[in-house]
């Protein structure tokens, strides 16, 4: 029997629940050299800013136990360049396109949302929590009040579904999720990276030129699963879970905990076919359980 892998996330119909996470899939071009990107449910593009950004000094990556720190710092060609030069390529494919955006001020978020609302994209994902840029961005995401403010403002300009991406660097992610929901978010995605630091004992300096960076990969998965569990019990809007997903069963953990869809990040950088493998793994699991739809496993966790 065919498994129905499709999911509906706030009106966006995804052919399967696997989305490439922002910053680990570029604008799809590199991965398209290795895999058929039509097989993905969606692609969240590299974080966009209003003006092009250079990003941080290198080294921008440090390997850590079962994970990595990055301090890329939102290097990107800017939202206009994206629309003119990258979006047409993505649109030749069938994966949903999610525009991930970050700004220094709420006005910038609003301006980008207005611009992108007229572009041929499927949803906007607000990165209100990038740990790698000093100004702006991080401040909005770390308090419920900050989330409320930015979500409300941006929502006024959004003609596309609005996904608010939550940072784990808070004391209660359920509270920030609830704030996003009541301020009008159509979905939440989580988790962004955990702020971290790695030190080279030989040089007695941080490995990253930026000193600190965002932790991702298998090391963060248990934290992420717990947070997705808490958030999905708190909000009614769809939840997109991520953090350390490398295989089908990793994704299934998130879905059992309440995720309607998942994003795969770090794994894309190591295995170009990670999203496809994750998708096949979910399908196998659903089949094994005798369900007919992938969406059936969402939230079907049984607590001890």
Partner 1 sequence: MSKHMTNIITGIAEIAEGIFRMRISSGYISANAKPGQFVNIKCCEGNDALLRRPISICSVDRPGDTYDIVFQKKGGGTGMLAGKKPGDRIDVLGPLGNSFDTGARHRRIAVVGGGIGVFPLLFVLDDSRAIVRRSYLGFRTSKLVVLENEFRFRSSSLEIATDDGSYGTKGFAPDILRRDISVEDFDMIYACGPEPMLRKVSQLAGEHNIECQISLEQRMGCGFGTCLACACKTANGEDGWKYSHVCKDGPVFNSRSIIFD
Ligand X SMILES: Cc1cc2nc3c(=O)[nH]c(=O)nc-3n(C[C@H](O)[C@H](O)[C@H](O)COP(=O)(O)O)c2cc1C
Catalytic residues: 130
How many Cα atoms occupy the beta-carbon half-sphere of 66 within 13 Å? 9
Other residues' Cβ atoms within 10 Å of the Cβ of residue 296: 15
CB of 130 vs ligand X, minimal distance in Å: 6
Q: Is 23 in the site for partner 1 (CB under 8 A)?
A: yes
| Nearer to partner 1 among residue 67 and residue 144 (C-beta) | 67
Instruction: List, in order, residues 6 or more apart from 146 with CB less than 8 Å away.
Output: 128, 139, 140
Question: Which one of residues 182, 272, 283, 299 is an interface residue with partner 1 (CB under 8 A)?
Answer: 272
Q: Is 218 in the site for partner 1 (CB under 8 A)?
A: yes
Paired with 68 in beta bridges are 63, 216
Residue with the shortest CB distance to ligand X: 23
Q: 192 contacts which partner out of ligand X, partner 1, none, CB within 5 to 8 A by kind? A: ligand X
Contact call for residues 236 and 181 (beta carbons, < 8 A): yes
Distances (CA, A) of 249 to 14, 115, 158, 221, 274: 20, 38, 35, 12, 13
Q: Is 61 in the site for partner 1 (CB under 8 A)?
A: yes
H or E segment to which residue 206 belongs: strand 205-206
Segment 146-205, which members bind partner 1 (CB under 8 A)? Answer: none
Q: 165 contacts which partner out of ligand X, partner 1, none, CB within 5 to 8 A by kind? A: ligand X
Question: Which one of residues 1, 54, 201, 303 is an interface residue with partner 1 (CB under 8 A)?
Answer: 54
CB of 289 vs ligand X, minimal distance in Å: 24
Residue in 99, 292, 266, 89 with CA at minimum distance from that of residue 193 = 266
Q: Is 269 in the site for partner 1 (CB under 8 A)?
A: yes
| Nearer to partner 1 among residue 141 and residue 214 (C-beta) | 214
Contact call for residues 127 and 100 (beta carbons, < 8 A): yes
Q: Which residues bind partner 1 (CB under 8 A)?
A: 23-26, 29-31, 33-34, 46, 54-63, 65-68, 70, 72, 75, 217-219, 266, 268-273
């Amino acid at each position: 029997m065919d498994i129905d892998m499709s999911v509906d996330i706030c009106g966006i119909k995804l052919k399967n629940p696997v989305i490439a996470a922002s910053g680990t899939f570029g604008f799809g071009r590199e991965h398209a050299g290795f895999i058929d990107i039509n097989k993905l449910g969606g692609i969240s593009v590299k974080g966009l800013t209003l003006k092009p950004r250079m990003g941080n000094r290198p080294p921008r990556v440090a390997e850590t136990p079962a994970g990595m720190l990055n301090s890329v710092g939102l290097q990107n060609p800017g939202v206009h360049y994206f629309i003119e030069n990258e979006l047409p390529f993505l649109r030749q494919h069938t994966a949903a396109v999610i525009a991930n955006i970050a700004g220094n001020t709420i006005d910038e978020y609003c301006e980008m949302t207005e611009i992108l609302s007229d572009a041929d994209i499927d949803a906007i994902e607000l990165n209100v929590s990038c740990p790698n840029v000093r100004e702006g961005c991080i401040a909005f995401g770390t308090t419920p009040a900050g989330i409320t403010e930015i979500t409300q403002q941006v929502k006024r300009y959004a003609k596309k579904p609005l996904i608010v991406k939550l940072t784990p660097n808070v004391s209660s992610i359920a509270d920030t999720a609830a704030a996003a929901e009541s301020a009008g978010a159509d979905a939440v995605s989580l988790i962004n990276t955990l702020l971290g630091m790695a030190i080279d004992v030989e040089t007695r300096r941080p490995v990253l030129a930026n000193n600190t960076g965002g932790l991702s990969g298998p090391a963060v998965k248990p934290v992420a699963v717990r947070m997705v569990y808490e958030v999905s019990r708190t909000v009614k809007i769809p939840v997109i879970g991520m953090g350390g997903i490398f295989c089908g069963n990793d994704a299934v953990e998130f879905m059992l905990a309440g995720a309607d869809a998942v994003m795969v990040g770090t794994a894309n950088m190591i295995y170009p076919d990670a999203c496809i493998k994750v998708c096949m793994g979910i399908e196998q699991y659903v089949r094994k359980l005798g369900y007919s739809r992938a969406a059936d496993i969402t939230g079907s966790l049984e607590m001890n």
